[in-house]
A = this chain, B = another copy of it.
Amino acid sequence: MTKRIDFQVDPTAYRHWKVSFDGPVAWLTMDVDENGGLFDGYQLKMNSYDLGVDIELADVVQRMRFEHPEVKVVVMQSGKDRIFCAGANIRMLGGAAHSHKVNFCKFTNETRNTFEAAEADSGQKYIAAVKGACAGGGYELALACNHIMLTDDSSSSVSLPEVPLLAVLPGTGGLTRVTDKRKVRRDRADVFCSTEEGVRGKRAKEWKLVDEVIPNSKFDATVVERAQEFAAASTKPDVAEGITLTPLDRTFHEDGSVTYSTVEVQADRAGRTVTITLKGPEEAAPDDMEAFTAQGAQAYMLRLARELDDAILHLRLNEKELGLMVFKTQGDPEAFAAHEQLLLDNAEHWLANEVLQYWKRVLKRVDVTSRSMVALVEHGSCFTGVLAELLFAVDRSYMMEDEFEGDNRPIATITLTGANFGPMPMGNGLTRLQTRFLDDDAALAACAAVKGEALEAAEADEAGLVTMILDDIDWEDEIRIFLEERASFSPDAMTAMEANLRFAGPETMETRIFGRLTAWQNWIFNRPNAVGETGALQRYGSGVRGEYNMERV
């Protein structure tokens, strides 16, 4: 059995990042421990990173928002001399399985998106203060910041050398952000992305690769100045104190199952299926946001989000053969709605906002998870609001109709709330209901008209909220046949099909990164020119160039 990758980390245990605070400005210093790799067989030289480094970064970004709401500007910088960051570690990539590479890239993309969106979502703006070489994934870190400052000296440059050097893509958003965020002219982007040594100084600014180029002698002072300027100009309300993200309450079992306080993950390795059951609240909703804040990380809505997030990440990386995720809920729909309503009613409150933003991110994480996903709306379930969003995130759903013999749980219902009509957009910028009913305004209006009503099967079916409703006679057989069949299909074909069907409608930089860029990178990661014995990734550092089949496909 391989080592379990843990996505929970504690700041006291960080090996690769240092964080310090100066009022509204946080200083985030990347100082990777060469010997702190997640796996054996490589050293993290020159501030290169592996998944372990990124798990810490994701934790920093998450805690910044919950534990340090006073922060308005985060300055990302390097703790090394003459190097900002050399990108993803090549030896790690060269040695990793295809599935690890792909999942690693997905997680790093999610983390980049999270700090990129922090400005719009939470008023925390990330600045990259680049001294030294900023190459490949290092420049992709900077690209996801919303302001890039580059020092003007002979060793400082930005570059995306993946294509010429490694025969792979800058796949952590690099290509997409160069053209679509930075709006670099495409022929210049072509030159930039095929030049190993990158671009520095004035040209980097002229080509829009960075926002500022600053003489080395004035660099540090200018960064401080700029950080203070941005902080002063921020419209983020002042919040004196955050909450602490305490460790999750969870138990891992031998058979792959995991027990959290509100989430039960039940693995069936033989059936290649995992059931994720989310439990409704046991306690009443807090009276107000003061009470909610006092509960902190124990508040139900936050705890549920954290546990679901951790469960999905765990399954993605550690249980790759559980190809089918079955989502269930159990609990009182009205009690759940009350917990959620407190947040929706107080969306201006910093913590309510953060919890809602977090739910948005968790649901997006579900959207881009490469597993077949189904929701079962059983009697006794609470698919309400953000939990109902799961019904529209999964690939299909089944709902129990009428009473089932021997089942005395409350009849299955679905309840739409305000959470389904705006605050949880997908990566394509639409709500899941808008994506579901693309250009069908009548269907959307019909959904809006039943907001707040607990819809039983026939009504939910009529409103188009579930794929299929089944009664006591058909339920068991139909579900069993579906689960068996789905789990027997080629996982690759499923992944690719789902990646196409889930994102109808408009595209955004985000969908393009997960859709187009990722798909091309996955392809590359399967091609002998990159990963074969004489491929560039394998030969990197050997002094011998990759040997390529020169046929264009």
Chain A interface residues toward B at CB < 8 A = 98-99, 102-103, 162-164, 166-169, 175-176, 178-180, 183, 185-191, 193-194, 272, 320-323, 370-371, 394-397, 435-440, 464, 466-467, 485-486, 489-502, 504-507, 512, 515-517, 519-524, 526-527, 529-530, 536, 546, 548-553
Contacts and interface: CB of A to CB of B under 8 A. Distances in A.
A178 B497 CA distance: 12
B515 A496 contact: no
Contacts of A183: 438-440, 504
Count copies of this chain in the complex. Answer: 2
Nearest to A527: B492
A546 to B, nearest CB: 7
16 contacts: A99-B553, A103-B553, A163-B490, A163-B493, A164-B485, A167-B490, A169-B497, A187-B436, A187-B467, A193-B497, A320-B552, A320-B553, A371-B552, A490-B527, A499-B516, A520-B522
A553 B500 contact: no
Contact of A490 (B175, B395, B486, B529): B529
B493 A167 contact: yes
A467 B191 contact: yes
B553 A370 contact: yes
Contacts of A519: 516, 519-520, 522-523
A497 B175 contact: yes
A140 to B, nearest CB: 13
A500 B175 contact: yes
Nearest to A371: B552
A176 B523 contact: no
Nearest to A160: B497
A183 B434 CA distance: 11
A497 to B, nearest CB: 5
A506 B505 CA distance: 11
Contacts of A523: 492, 496, 519, 522-523, 526
Given A167-B490, A496-B521, A515-B516, A186 B546 contact: no
A526 B529 contact: no
A207 to B, nearest CB: 11
B162 A493 contact: yes
A501 B176 CA distance: 7
A467 B436 contact: no
A328 to B, nearest CB: 17
Contacts of A490: 163, 167, 527, 529-530, 536, 546, 548
B191 A396 contact: yes
B504 A186 contact: yes
A495 B553 contact: yes
Contacts of A530: 490, 492-493
A519 B524 CA distance: 10
Contacts of A178: 501
Query: Max chain B CB contacts within 10 Å: which of A435, A491, A512, A516?
Result: A516
